[in-house]
Every structure is written in C-alpha cells, then in structure tokens.
C-alpha cells in the first residue's frame, strides 16, 4: 500500500509540474528576481546570482516566465519538420525495391517512417531501445551521419548489419542527439568504394552499403 501511495504522490507531482510548465508557456507571468532568488535552495543561490548579474539592470527587477531562450528553442522544435514529403514518397521505392530483411541506417524519425510504411527495420527508432545495447546503436548511428570518413561510416554501418543508408537532405536529424543539416557529412556517401546511390529526390537520398 505504501508503494502505491508513493507512486500516486510521484504521479501527482509530475502532473502538477507539467501543468505549471504548460501554463507558464502559454500564459507568461511576471516573476521578480528577488522572489526567484529567495525561493531557490541555498546550494543554488550562487548560480542564480551569477545569472542575474549578467542581465541588464532593467531586466533584473522582473523576469518573464518562460525565459525567451526557452520560447525560442521550443518554437524551433515545434516548427521543424520531423519527416518531409520526399521521405514519405521514398518509402514506395523502398517497399518495391528492397527485401523485408534489409536494415536501414536512419535517424529516429526516418526509421519510424520506414518501419511504419514498409516493415523494414532500422538501426534505431520504434522498439530499438528495447534491443541490446541501444546507447551504442544510437552513438554509432549518430557517427555514421556526422563523420567525414567514408571508411569509418562503412565500418559502423556494417557493424550494425545495415544494408542501406537513408539520408535526409535538408532537415534536422534526431539520432538521439539533434543534428543540424550542416553537421551531416553527405559527401562521404558518394564514395563508390563503400556506398552506391540507388534512389534520390529533393528531400532524401538512399545509398546501398556495399
């Protein structure tokens, strides 16, 4: 019974915290810096003081929740496409031209699109977190996209038993970490010793891992 009570209290605290975050995002309220400092536990007050010292004098008296930095980051995340029309269109090619047993190097969003539309599996996404070594799979997938070394990308892809790489051309990736398009080294996939382009459209390229 005590365990159930503890879980109930924890769930209530989490629900209240989520409600407060939602409320402050859609209905910003003024919060005085002195109140913020006084409500902060003693071990963290020095950190709060350092933050407040960086603010212009006119902003120290009152803060607005949520901070502008959080609003900008949240809006960027909400407005980003997680998949594109071209990626969706590519799944028809995948279904017609690859085997059920083929495995794709893909970020989480691309992987879940592929699995949902074609039943092919990927290096992450979906239930991958329940498979052995999910953190290593996430780390290796991230490095395949970001490394400039085609031999290293090939080695990692082979180690994951992947047969194709699904490479979005313009959107931000989520490999477990957010990866901007500029951080994805696409040129290495053009190295014919390791990869062969088998499909492309305006949004995505698919490479066979040789």
Predicted pLDDT at 30: 57
The separation between the first and the last C-alpha atoms of the chain, rounded to the nearest angstrom, is 58
Query: What's the mean pLDDT when you consider all of the chain?
Result: 82
Q: Are residues 63 and 140 in the same domain?
A: no
Q: Are residues 148 and 59 in the same domain?
A: no
Q: Are residues 188 and 167 in the same domain?
A: yes
Q: Are residues 71 and 90 in the same domain?
A: no
The model's pTM is 0.64
91 found inside a domain: yes
Which of 114, 123, 117, 110 lies closest to 83, judged by CA? 110
What is the residue whose two structure tokens read 């092919």? 120
Q: Are residues 30 and 53 in the same domain?
A: yes
Q: pLDDT below 70 — which residues of the chain?
A: 1-14, 16-37, 58-80, 126-131
Tally of domains within the chain: 2
15 found inside a domain: no
Domain span at 90: 85-209
């Amino acid at each position: 019974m005590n365990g159930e009570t503890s879980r109930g209290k924890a769930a209530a605290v989490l629900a209240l915290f989520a409600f407060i975050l939602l409320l402050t995002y859609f209905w910003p309220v003024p919060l005085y810096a002195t109140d913020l400092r006084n409500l902060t536990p003693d071990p963290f007050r020095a950190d709060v003081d350092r933050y407040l010292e960086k603010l212009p004098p006119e902003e120290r008296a009152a803060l607005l929740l949520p901070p502008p930095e959080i609003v900008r980051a949240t809006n960027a995340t909400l407005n980003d496409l997680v998949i594109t029309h071209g990626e969706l269109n590519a799944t028809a090619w995948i279904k017609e031209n690859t085997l059920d047993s083929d495995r794709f190097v893909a970020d989480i969003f691309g992987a879940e699109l592929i699995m949902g539309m074609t039943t092919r599996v990927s290096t992450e996404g979906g239930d991958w977190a329940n498979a052995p070594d999910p953190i290593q799979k996430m780390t290796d997938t991230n490095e395949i996209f970001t490394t400039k070394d085609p031999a290293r990308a090939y080695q990692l892809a082979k180690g994951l038993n992947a047969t194709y790489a699904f490479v979005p051309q313009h959107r931000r990736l989520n490999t477990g970490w957010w990866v901007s398009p500029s951080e994805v080294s696409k040129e290495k996939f053009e190295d014919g010793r390791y990869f062969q382009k088998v499909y492309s459209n305006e949004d995505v390229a698919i490479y066979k891992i040789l």
